Chain A
């Protein structure tokens, strides 16, 4: 578990931790970068949208191993829960913009969804919870 405040100065700290963690778990380099990017974008969304750029609000990140059965084989993975106690998020405001529009903003959610196998938002009591999961696919010819 990693507890940080909603100050953007913490973003680089979390990126460093997630990058090392994904490397250690054996994700390919491109996925280490994309998972790290997804967590960074998710944290930024919390700071901006959930906490309205307030700098001193709590954010908790939980990292757990994940498993699923895919094509008859067990795949391991990484589950990341990001929890905050900001305002309830309206999912309609978090859809991201169409990529064919060339304008600033709205890219973060696309980058999260492109990186992760599962992206789920839930509101539990006063807590927003974002669940991100990425599975570590086995090479097809692995024995």
Chain B
């Protein structure tokens, strides 16, 4: 898995690629939480377009990001969900909990 970071004004976009599983989900969690809690970015976007697989620990990392952003009044957005990622969020009944857009343009326009 690889995470790259782009910063645009008050928005940070994490472009994640590869599989997110128990071996590397702590890296996702750490990156997201640092951005929200320490850098206080107003809008954090996680781009999952290149993520083929995400397990429950990866979902847990995203939930932690969502909760941290709610606590601090910022926004936490997911974009580009793969079929597998969408399935996991639907099966865990979290698909409507997250703010989700198809692509970066839509997320930035909101």
A interface, CB within 8 angstroms of B: 8-9, 11-12, 15, 30, 33-34, 37, 40-41, 44, 47-48, 99-100, 102-105, 107-108, 110-111, 114
Interface of B, secondary structure class, is helix
Contacts of B53 in A (CB 8 A): 15, 37, 40
Instruction: Name 8 interchain pairs, CB-CB below 8 A, sorted by A.
Output: A9-B23, A11-B21, A11-B22, A12-B23, A33-B83, A40-B21, A40-B53, A102-B94
CB distance from A105 to the nearest CB of B (A): 5
Contact of A111 among B23, B67, B92 (CB under 8 A): B92
Contacts of A44 in B (CB 8 A): 21-22, 55-57
Interface size for B (C-beta < 8 A) is 24
B61 within 8 A of A: yes
CB distance from A5 to the nearest CB of B (A): 13
Contacts of B56 in A (CB 8 A): 41, 44, 105, 107-108, 111
